Structure 1
Amino acid sequence: MRNAYIIPAVLLMNTITAQVSGVGIGTTNPQQKLHLDNSIGTMRVENLDKDNNEYNGGNAVPTGSFPLYVDNNGVLTLGLIPLANSDGLDAINHLTIPQASVTLSNTDADGKQEGTILSYDITVTRNTILEIKYSVSFETYFISSPLTIIKDGAARRISTYYVLNNQTRRYGQASKSYLNNNGNNPAPFPATQRMGAVGPLYNSSSSYIQLTPGTHNIKLKAEVSSGLPSMATHVKLAMNTDSIFMRMY
């Protein structure tokens, strides 16, 4: 009867050892639940190869490689699932955004004016890193009515950035300095003597924002500044093809 008790005990001990140490391929001392020794080489998953996966461009790029992702079910995939991706389309319609323009008056006390382009509410259930990439177009003028170009030779800075929950930190800040020189000074700067060009400029940047569990507000903002004394400036936002990409990790 004693042997009858010993055999199950040995089997139980072996089972516990396997559960604790994991499964090793090429090693007798696995350090994880699944441990592939370096002598084994690479791992191959056929449903991710060029013949079985539409996201693998191996046939078109035989020597290329592609990023590997994990979906919410823990499945390995080549398909990127972003929170937002304009993918070549215009991401921002200047006719429907909360603030289509930002205007700085020549009597402004601090020489800068801010506006909100877009606002997002994002809810997460775990600690998350939000990746943001964007490109926003804008056109710069002196005044809005009538729409007049800048001819005073002074520089203006147009900045775009994201803020989290209305805090002061700026994520992904990008700036352009607009300067339209004129050959005739001082005023009235005849239009026939101006030097410079009108048309869209772009601010482009990327950033990573850490989010804790809960609902957060993300705002894409624009700021126009000239220093003091304040210089009249009118900036029209999202006037050309704009792009936004967001992904959570």
Structure 2
Amino acid sequence: MKNQYLCLLFCTSISFSQVGIGTTNPQEELHVSGNTSTIRIEGLSSTNNVLNDGIKNARVYVNSNGNLTLTPPNYTAGGSGNGNLPINFLIDVPNFIPDNIDGLPAPYNSLGRIINSDLTQEGVEGFIYSVTFTVPAACTVEVKHGVTLVISGSNMLTPSLAYINDSKTRTIETFFCFDINNDGLSPAEKAIEYGNKGQFYCSVAGGSLGYPYMNSQGYATLPPGTHSIHFFGKVQDPPSTFTSVGFGGATDYLKLRVYN
């Protein structure tokens, strides 16, 4: 009699070893039925796992114990090779500076942000554009950007365009700053310039107009939260000369990668 009870108990445990969700006839140990059925594992969410950036889908791995995890095989923090932390694109904007920020009429509506160094100045700095983004956890970000330039010897805000043919040299620079928590760029935040890049422009007798191109990159460690990147431009020219530069009048790009 005892053996019969044991056999009955054993058979009962087998009959209930398969669990069905959305079905009364499970075909596997766990059977989730339904063409649009989904599974949620809260331990892998962006709130509970720093390897999930909360922006793009995270790759799920199966370890040697059969556990689901976001940690790549052989991962070591700060390591290299296949054990690196996955890289996620947070921002990928093909033309992040509006072509006509100043609202000029055609055909002057592709000059970007115009910064002038007038006859009384030998150097001027101006704000170009800002972009807001959010990171769910403390991370290192890599910012890559490229900016097109338009260079004129007259004030493009009037609007007008004029060749520069005085055979004098100008320099143009870009850099960016991080506004932590996107609450207004403080003097301390503005003082830290990332991705400084410059080039010089030397005119010839015939002058030149067009879209020179300048790109750069920089890295920063940020806390979790919503932040913004502020881009600036600098124009330097000889005394008693007028230089007007449009930043971002053609096809620019901005890419931001997150290293959690």
Contact 1:158 1:224 (C-alpha < 8 Å) held by counterparts? yes
Number of the residue aligned with 2:52: 71
In structure 1, which of residues 177, 202, 207 is the aligned counterpart of residue 213 of structure 2?
Answer: 202
1:134-154 CA-to-partner distances (Å, cap 9, x unmatched) read 110011011134311111111
Q: How far has the Cα of 1:214 moved from its partner?
A: 4.6
In structure 2, which of residues 197, 210, 216 is the aligned counterpart of residue 174 of structure 1?
Answer: 197
C-alpha distance in 1 between matches for 2:86 and 2:142: 17
Q: How far has the Cα of 1:159 moved from its partner?
A: 0.6
Q: Which amino acid aligns with 1:155?
A: T
Q: How far has the Cα of 1:123 moved from its partner?
A: 4.2
Secondary structure of the corresponding residue to residue 200 of structure 1: coil
- Give the direction of change, closer, same or farther, for the CA distance of 1:79–1:95 in structure 2 (3 Å limit): farther
Number of the residue aligned with 2:153: 142
- Give the direction of change, closer, same or farther, for the CA distance of 1:135–1:148 in structure 2 (3 Å limit): same
Number of the residue aligned with 2:81: none
Number of the residue aligned with 2:116: 103
Number of the residue aligned with 2:20: none
Contact 1:97 1:117 (C-alpha < 8 Å) held by counterparts? no
- Give the direction of change, closer, same or farther, for the CA distance of 1:204–1:85 in structure 2 (3 Å limit): same
Contact 2:175 2:196 (C-alpha < 8 Å) held by counterparts? yes
C-alpha distance in 2 between matches for 1:91 and 1:217: 13
Q: How far has the Cα of 1:170 moved from its partner?
A: 1.5
Q: How far has the Cα of 1:217 moved from its partner?
A: 3.2
RMSD in angstroms over aligned alpha carbons? Answer: 2.9
Secondary structure of the corresponding residue to residue 169 of structure 1: coil
In structure 2, which of residues 88, 96, 100 is the aligned counterpart of residue 91 of structure 1?
Answer: 96
1:43-66 CA-to-partner distances (Å, cap 9, x unmatched) read xxxxxxxxxxxxxxxxxxxxxxxx
Number of the residue aligned with 1:235: 245
- Give the direction of change, closer, same or farther, for the CA distance of 1:97–1:132 in structure 2 (3 Å limit): farther
Number of the residue aligned with 1:15: none
Q: Which amino acid aligns with 2:166?
A: D
Number of the residue aligned with 1:220: 231
Contact 2:113 2:249 (C-alpha < 8 Å) held by counterparts? no
Contact 2:165 2:208 (C-alpha < 8 Å) held by counterparts? no
Secondary structure of the corresponding residue to residue 89 of structure 2: coil
C-alpha distance in 2 between matches for 1:177 and 1:222: 13
Secondary structure of the corresponding residue to residue 83 of structure 1: strand
Corresponding position: 1:244 with 2:254 = yes
C-alpha distance in 1 between matches for 2:236 and 2:203: 15
- Give the direction of change, closer, same or farther, for the CA distance of 1:132–1:97 in structure 2 (3 Å limit): farther
- Give the direction of change, closer, same or farther, for the CA distance of 1:91–1:215 in structure 2 (3 Å limit): closer
Corresponding position: 1:161 with 2:175 = yes
Please give the TM-score of this superposition, normalised by the length of structure 1: 0.57
Please give the TM-score of this superposition, normalised by the length of structure 2: 0.55
C-alpha distance in 2 between matches for 1:164 and 1:137: 22
Secondary structure of the corresponding residue to residue 210 of structure 2: coil
1:154-180 CA-to-partner distances (Å, cap 9, x unmatched) read 111111111123422221111110111
Q: How far has the Cα of 1:220 moved from its partner?
A: 1.2
